[in-house]
């Protein structure tokens, strides 16, 4: 079961990140909130806690209309997203 969860996350993460990035680029707070929430859920499921925390911050900022913080949050999310995918690849769960 764990292998399936990890593989599913690895398969879904790029699209979830792209949806979040699109929302940020368009300045659409609702799209950011929705994308961050969905991505956060997946990250939390696989215990990618730093990524999940950054996504929670993005979700909360979007909910509060504080989009000026998104640039810094997106850098953190991008970095953590990349790190998690590398870790999953290293343990062979994305094959």
- What are the structural domains of the chain? 2-90 (1.20.120.160)
pLDDT value at residue 72: 94
pLDDT tens digits, residue range 43-81? Answer: 999 999 999 999 999 999 999 999 999 999 999 999 999
**Entry pTM:** 0.91
92: left (phi over 0), alpha (psi -120 to 50) or beta: left
Residue 93, pLDDT > 90, answer no
Question: Which pLDDT band, with edges at 50, 70 and 90, does 94 fall under?
Answer: very low
List b or e across 32-45, with b for residues whose CB sees 16 or more CB atoms inside 10 angstroms: bbbbbbbbbebbee
Neighbours of 68 (CB within 10 A): 8
Q: Does the pLDDT of residue 31 top 90, yes or no?
A: yes
Residue 95 has pLDDT above 80, yes or no: no
Q: Is the pLDDT of residue 22 over 60?
A: yes
- The residues, ordered by sequence, that sit 6+ positions from 62 with a Cβ below 8 Å of its Cβ are 23, 29, 30, 32, 33, 36, 70
CA atoms within 13 A on the CB side of 43: 27
Write down the mean pLDDT value for the chain. Answer: 93
């Amino acid at each position: 079961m764990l292998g399936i969860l990890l593989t599913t996350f690895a398969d879904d993460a790029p699209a979830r990140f792209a949806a979040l990035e699109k929302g940020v680029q368009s300045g659409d707070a609702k799209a950011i909130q929705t994308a961050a929430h969905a991505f956060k859920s997946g990250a939390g499921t696989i215990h990618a806690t730093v990524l999940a925390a950054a996504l929670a911050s993005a979700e909360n900022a979007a909910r509060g209309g504080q989009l000026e913080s998104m640039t810094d949050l997106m850098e953190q999310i991008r970095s953590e997203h990349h790190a998690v995918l590398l870790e999953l690849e290293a343990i062979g769960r994305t094959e």
